[in-house]
Protein backbone atom coordinates (compact mmCIF):
# COMPACT_ATOMS: atom_id res chain seq x y z
CA UNK A 1 0.00 0.00 0.00
CA UNK A 2 1.35 3.41 -0.94
CA UNK A 3 0.62 6.32 1.36
CA UNK A 4 0.80 9.98 0.48
CA UNK A 5 3.31 12.09 2.38
CA UNK A 6 0.43 14.10 3.88
CA UNK A 7 -0.79 10.92 5.62
CA UNK A 8 2.50 10.11 7.34
CA UNK A 9 2.35 12.50 10.31
CA UNK A 10 -0.58 14.18 12.03
CA UNK A 11 -1.16 17.76 11.01
CA UNK A 12 -1.81 20.55 13.47
CA UNK A 13 -3.60 23.23 11.50
CA UNK A 14 -7.13 23.97 10.45
CA UNK A 15 -9.49 22.81 13.19
CA UNK A 16 -6.86 21.46 15.61
CA UNK A 17 -7.95 24.06 18.16
CA UNK A 18 -11.22 22.08 18.38
CA UNK A 19 -9.38 18.85 19.19
CA UNK A 20 -10.60 18.77 22.81
CA UNK A 21 -14.22 18.75 21.58
CA UNK A 22 -13.47 15.91 19.19
CA UNK A 23 -11.68 13.95 21.89
CA UNK A 24 -14.58 14.47 24.32
CA UNK A 25 -17.04 13.23 21.69
CA UNK A 26 -15.03 10.13 20.76
CA UNK A 27 -14.14 9.30 24.38
CA UNK A 28 -17.87 9.10 25.12
CA UNK A 29 -18.18 6.12 22.76
CA UNK A 30 -17.58 3.24 25.17
CA UNK A 31 -16.22 0.72 22.67
CA UNK A 32 -14.07 3.16 20.67
CA UNK A 33 -10.41 3.39 21.65
CA UNK A 34 -8.28 5.79 19.61
CA UNK A 35 -4.69 4.56 19.57
CA UNK A 36 -1.39 5.24 17.88
CA UNK A 37 -0.17 8.15 15.85
CA UNK A 38 -3.06 8.47 13.42
CA UNK A 39 -5.84 7.45 15.81
CA UNK A 40 -4.85 10.01 18.40
CA UNK A 41 -3.60 12.64 15.93
CA UNK A 42 -0.52 12.95 18.11
CA UNK A 43 3.13 12.30 17.45
CA UNK A 44 4.03 8.99 19.06
CA UNK A 45 7.08 6.96 18.21
CA UNK A 46 6.52 3.29 17.41
CA UNK A 47 7.02 2.16 21.02
CA UNK A 48 4.57 4.68 22.41
CA UNK A 49 2.04 3.89 19.70
CA UNK A 50 2.20 0.23 20.75
CA UNK A 51 1.81 1.27 24.39
CA UNK A 52 -1.46 3.04 23.56
CA UNK A 53 -2.71 -0.19 21.98
CA UNK A 54 -1.63 -2.20 25.03
CA UNK A 55 -3.46 0.21 27.34
CA UNK A 56 -6.59 -0.08 25.18
CA UNK A 57 -6.45 -3.89 25.34
CA UNK A 58 -6.03 -3.73 29.11
CA UNK A 59 -9.07 -1.45 29.35
CA UNK A 60 -11.17 -3.79 27.21
CA UNK A 61 -10.10 -6.88 29.18
CA UNK A 62 -11.02 -5.47 32.56
CA UNK A 63 -13.99 -3.36 31.47
CA UNK A 64 -12.58 0.15 31.83
CA UNK A 65 -14.36 2.57 29.51
CA UNK A 66 -12.44 5.72 30.40
CA UNK A 67 -9.53 6.53 28.13
CA UNK A 68 -7.33 8.63 30.43
CA UNK A 69 -4.59 6.01 30.69
CA UNK A 70 -4.37 5.86 26.89
CA UNK A 71 -4.17 9.65 26.52
CA UNK A 72 -1.53 9.78 29.27
CA UNK A 73 0.93 7.80 27.13
CA UNK A 74 3.46 10.31 25.78
CA UNK A 75 1.82 13.22 27.60
CA UNK A 76 4.90 14.60 29.32
CA UNK A 77 6.01 18.01 28.17
CA UNK A 78 9.59 17.09 27.37
CA UNK A 79 10.78 13.90 25.74
CA UNK A 80 14.16 12.86 24.41
CA UNK A 81 14.97 9.50 22.87
CA UNK A 82 18.34 8.04 23.65
CA UNK A 83 20.30 5.40 21.82
Q: Rg (Cα) of the chain, in Å, rounded? A: 14
| Residue 24 counted as domain residue | no
Q: Rounded CA gap, 10 and 5, in Å? A: 11
pLDDT at 10: 58
Residue 51 lies in a domain: yes
CA distances from 33 to 7, 38, 52, 77 (A): 20, 12, 9, 23
7 or 66, which is more confident: 66
Residue 20 lies inside a defined structural domain of this protein: no
- Residue 38's pLDDT is 82
Range of the domain at 39: 34-76
Residue 20 has pLDDT above 80, yes or no: yes
The answer as to whether 72 is a domain residue is: yes
The answer to the question of residue 39 being in a domain is yes
pLDDT, tens digit, 9 for 90 and up, residues 34-57: 999 888 888 778 899 999 999 999
* Alpha-carbon distances of 46 from 23, 24, 37, 62, rounded to whole Å: 22, 25, 8, 25
Name the domain count of the chain.
Answer: 1
Amino acid sequence: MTRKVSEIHPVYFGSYDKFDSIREYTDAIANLFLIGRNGMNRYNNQDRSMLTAMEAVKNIKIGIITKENIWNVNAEQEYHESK
